[in-house]
């Protein structure tokens, strides 16, 4: 179970920004699955994101998230990832106590322009091509990156999919055969070849809330949230991006083809990666349904979980027919 988020006020966030980072700002609450996130805005329009993780969080994993951004700052991707900001003592992470008595791990990163891809009515194939290409460039840039925090066991790591098999019984009854078939295909076609696939650190969650685009929807402006970053099979990056791109689209395969074309323009796939890609896309969809089912057992009254499952289930059905 994830630790509870620290309780903070905007006044506290503004005070930390001023006293610890030397920046005078006003704060606005941002959403966050694990961290408390605050948008800090200076009078001259400059923006940062203050992030406060629960004190019980794994410091090594957070340090890894900061290290990867520092690594990418020195690559040609520095304009599409956030920059880590040092405090007045040269530190990138510190422990603070809130007025409510909660402890948290504080860090600040720059704010990237753009809006979440999720807010775009419809992505063009040109944008999808760019998304695929930038994700491939990201993977290329991370080939020589390593950190202890990336070598962890993660339920969202595709290589661990079969560990979630007991959760099939928690999936909606009409969806259980779809998920079971996906797990069987993974066991048959992917597992025997896992050891032969290239591996590296990947962002591992290129969903449409972690990809920022320009207001006109023409250009990718940012890749954010390295919270699910892990050392795993490199092709998982592409498979996950394709799975999300295919949701709620009239032509899912065309969406995946556009992402893939962009990706291989910067990082060609091996024959094995290309052969296994469809099964890995299906694997991510099964992963999503299984984790959603688990969440529903913890909160059976959350109707949103059922609603959010449906696009994934519909796509999985289309891919298996």
CATH code for the domain in which residue 53 is found? 3.30.200.20
Q: Are residues 150 and 293 in the same domain?
A: yes
Asked whether residue 175 falls in the same domain as residue 289, the answer is yes
198: which residues sit within 8 A by CB, 6+ positions away? 233, 234, 235, 270, 273
Residue 305: the pLDDT is 53
Q: How many whole angstroms separate alpha carbon 74 and alpha carbon 95? A: 27
Range of the domain at 21: 10-111
Residue 2 maps to a domain = no
What local confidence, expressed as pLDDT, does residue 34 receive?
83
Residues 14 and 134 occupy one common structural domain: no
Same domain, 130 and 218: yes
CA 208 to chain centre: 9
Let me know whether 125 and 188 are in one domain.
yes
Q: What is the CATH number of the domain that holds 136?
A: 3.90.1200.10
Which positions of the chain have pLDDT values less than 50?
none
Question: Residue 305: in which H helix or E strand, if any?
Answer: helix 303-319
Q: Domain for residue 276, yes or no? A: yes
- Phi–psi pair at 295, nearest 5 degrees: -65, -35
Any domain includes 22: yes
Report yes or no on 131 lying in a domain. yes
Domain boundary among 75, 91, 111: 111
Separation CA 164–CA 288 (nearest Å)? 11
Same structural domain, 199 and 288: yes
Query: pTM of the entire structure?
Result: 0.94
Q: What is the pLDDT of residue 142?
A: 98
Does 5 reside within a domain? no
Residue that is last in its domain, among 48, 82, 111? 111
**Does the residue 139 lie in any domain?**
yes
210-226 per-residue burial string, b: 16 or more CB within 10 A, e: under 16:
bbbbeeebeebbbbbbb
Same domain, 16 and 138: no
Q: Are residues 287 and 207 in the same domain?
A: yes
pLDDT of residue 300: 67
25 and 40 Cβ atoms separated by less than 8 Å: yes
Residue ending a domain, choose from 111, 130, 147: 111
CB 226 within 8 A of CB 66: no
Residue 3 located in a structural domain: no
Looking at the structure, do residues 129 and 272 belong to the same domain, yes or no?
yes
15 in a structural domain? yes
pLDDT at 303 (0 to 100):
58
Residues 89 and 160 in one domain: no
Q: Are residues 17 and 107 in the same domain?
A: yes
How many domains does the chain contain in total? 2
Are 126 and 252 contained in the same domain? yes
Residue pLDDT, tens place only, 249-293: 999 999 999 999 999 999 999 999 999 999 999 999 999 999 999
Provide the Cα torsion 168, 314, 291, 181; round to 10°. 30
């Amino acid at each position: 179970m994830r630790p509870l988020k620290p309780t903070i006020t905007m006044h506290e966030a503004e005070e930390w920004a001023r006293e610890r980072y030397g920046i005078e700002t006003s704060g606005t609450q941002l959403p966050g699955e694990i961290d408390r996130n605050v948008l800090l805005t200076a009078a001259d329009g400059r923006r940062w994101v203050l992030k406060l993780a629960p004190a019980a969080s794994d410091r090594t994993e957070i340090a890894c998230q900061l290290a990867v951004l520092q690594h990418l700052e020195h690559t040609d991707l520095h304009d599409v990832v956030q920059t880590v900001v040092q405090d007045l003592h040269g530190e990138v992470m510190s422990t603070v106590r809130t007025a409510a008595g909660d402890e948290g791990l504080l860090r600040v990163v720059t704010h990237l322009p753009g809006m979440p891809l999720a807010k775009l009515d419809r992505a063009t194939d040109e944008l999808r091509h760019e998304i695929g290409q930038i994700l491939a460039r990201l993977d290329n840039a991370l080939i020589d990156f390593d950190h202890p925090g990336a070598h962890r066991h993660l339920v969202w790591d595709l290589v661990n999919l079969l560990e979630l098999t007991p959760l099939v019984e928690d999936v909606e009854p009409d969806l259980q055969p779809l998920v079971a078939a996906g797990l069987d295909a993974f066991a048959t076609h992917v597992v025997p070849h896992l050891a032969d696939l290239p591996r590296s650190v990947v962002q591992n969650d290129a969903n449409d809330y972690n990809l920022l685009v320009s207001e006109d929807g023409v250009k990718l402006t940012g890749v954010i949230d390295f919270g699910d970053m892990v050392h795993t099979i490199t092709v998982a990056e592409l498979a996950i991006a394709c799975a999300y791109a295919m949701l709620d689209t009239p032509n899912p395969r065309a969406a995946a083809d556009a992402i893939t074309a962009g990706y291989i323009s910067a990082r060609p796939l091996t024959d094995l990666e290309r052969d296994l890609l469809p099964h890995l896309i299906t694997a991510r969809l099964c992963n999503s349904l299984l984790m959603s089912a688990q969440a529903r057992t913890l909160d059976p009254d959350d109707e949103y979980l059922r609603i959010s499952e449906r696009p994934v289930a519909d796509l999985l059905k289309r891919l298996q027919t």
